[in-house]
Amino acid sequence: MKVLVQTYDTAFQNTAGGVHNRIVRTAEAVRKTGCTVDYFDKFNTIADEYDILHVFMLDISNLGLMKYAKSKGMKVVLSAVVGLDKAASIDFYWTIRKIPVMTTYKLLFQMCELADAIIAETKKEADFIAKHYHVTSEKILVIPNGADTPETNSQMIFDVIGKRCQYALEVARFDKNKNQINVIRGLKGTNTEVVFAGGPDFSDNGYYEECLEIAKDSPNIHFLGWLDTESELLKSAYVNAKVLIAPSFHETFGLSIVEGAMAGAVPVISNTLPILDYDVFHDCLTIDPNNPEDIRRQLEKAMLIENTPAFRAKIQEAFSWANIAEQHLKLYRGLTNESF
């Protein structure tokens, strides 16, 4: 079986980005099963030499290749990666879809219709796609993102922040949705150390600088900037963290939560995030992302909790790349009627 992977144009311009990492790791894992997985190169790839086109991201830049693949009899899989915060807009454009005016959402609806299968990372995302993009539930499959246990003996993180201490870690690009600012507001000037790994993206409108300004007189707040996913400093930050904080308002998944828990950190998760649908996270501490005081209280409580080996084992079993690869392979084989 041969699988061709496509995504939006700028996905690989940020090597620390979530979609970039998901594509690379999914491709690596599926290749280990014996399946051929190649990335689409618009200048050289002959698409109809492949059995499956797997598109990552519901983005109109991917529509043309999807149409071509269907015309050649290929099966198309769409990993949607949709935000869950624009229901009203989607519903409005669905109601006017038959008006002879081209809209971005009309093209996104076409993509969902063209796809033979749609992958969501959580049940909440699957339900959102079914309801607002009007996709039959039989066409949607929930497959989470996979993760590796960060492994290193490096103590580099303590050299960078200038002390040995317990700390809470957030790993994310800086934007309003990731909500670093309320973590800073809640923790600045306290005895709780907080480390941020990530920086602004190309569309930043000053949010990163605002966070730096608010934190400038707080020696307990530390900024590492952008780190590559294979960075030894990032691994050191994960492995030595006491708490992994995920204060976002919205996420399709939340990979850093899984990676932090695998590394031994105690997860503290926004009560809005769909990853809480997974049983293994049901008993985790949650926060109101709008409330800096609640964030402070829950982080201080988490600093007194231990991440147990049993909890880490459950995380590793549920989100191992071998498990994720087998789920993809089963989907591919089902679409192409290839026998096991």
pLDDT tens-digit profile of 115-161? 999 999 999 999 999 999 999 999 999 999 998 888 899 999 999 99
Averaged confidence pLDDT in the chain? 94
* Spatial contact of 267 and 279, defined as CB atoms under 8 Å apart: no
Percent of the chain residues past pLDDT 70, beyond the cut: 98
Q: Does the CA dihedral 329-331-336-338 come out positive or negative?
A: positive
At residue 340 the predicted structure's pLDDT band, cuts being 50, 70 and 90, is very low
Residue 161 covered by a domain: yes
Q: Which residues sit opposite 142 in a β-bridge? A: 120
**Are 175 and 313 found together in one domain?**
yes
**Are 104 and 224 found together in one domain?**
no
**Are 171 and 296 found together in one domain?**
yes
Token pair 């081209």 is at which residue? 102
pLDDT in tens, 246-280: 999 998 888 899 999 999 999 999 999 999 989 99
Residue 285 covered by a domain: yes
Residue 28 covered by a domain: yes
CATH code of residue 71 = 3.40.50.2000
* Spatial contact of 155 and 237, defined as CB atoms under 8 Å apart: no
Residue 197 in 3-state DSSP? Answer: strand
Residues 290-317, mean pLDDT to the nearest whole number: 94
* Spatial contact of 53 and 21, defined as CB atoms under 8 Å apart: no
First and final C-alpha spacing in the chain: 12
At residue 19 the predicted structure's pLDDT band, cuts being 50, 70 and 90, is confident
User: Which range of residues forms the domain containing residue 123?
Assistant: 2-146+320-336
Residue 151 covered by a domain: no
- State how far the Cα of 232 lies from the Cα of 318, in Å rounded to an integer: 25
Residue 200 covered by a domain: yes
**Are 217 and 276 found together in one domain?**
yes
Q: Secondary structure of the chain: what % helix, strand, coil (to 5)?
A: 45, 15, 40
At residue 338 the predicted structure's pLDDT band, cuts being 50, 70 and 90, is low
Residue 83 has pLDDT above 90, yes or no: no
**Are 279 and 245 found together in one domain?**
yes
Residue 246 covered by a domain: yes
**Are 206 and 300 found together in one domain?**
yes
**Are 118 and 215 found together in one domain?**
no
Residue 109 covered by a domain: yes
At residue 339 the predicted structure's pLDDT band, cuts being 50, 70 and 90, is very low
Token pair 């997985």 is at which residue? 37
Task: Give the helix ranges, DSSP H, for 216-308.
Answer: 232-240, 255-263, 292-302
**Are 179 and 311 found together in one domain?**
yes
Number of domains composing the chain: 2
pLDDT in tens, 200-238: 977 778 999 999 999 999 999 999 999 988 899 999 999
**Are 226 and 303 found together in one domain?**
yes
**Are 31 and 104 found together in one domain?**
yes
- State how far the Cα of 279 lies from the Cα of 200, in Å rounded to an integer: 33
**Are 306 and 330 found together in one domain?**
no
**Are 196 and 223 found together in one domain?**
yes
At residue 100 the predicted structure's pLDDT band, cuts being 50, 70 and 90, is very high
* Spatial contact of 175 and 252, defined as CB atoms under 8 Å apart: no
Residue 104 has pLDDT above 50, yes or no: yes
Residue 272 covered by a domain: yes
At residue 15 the predicted structure's pLDDT band, cuts being 50, 70 and 90, is low
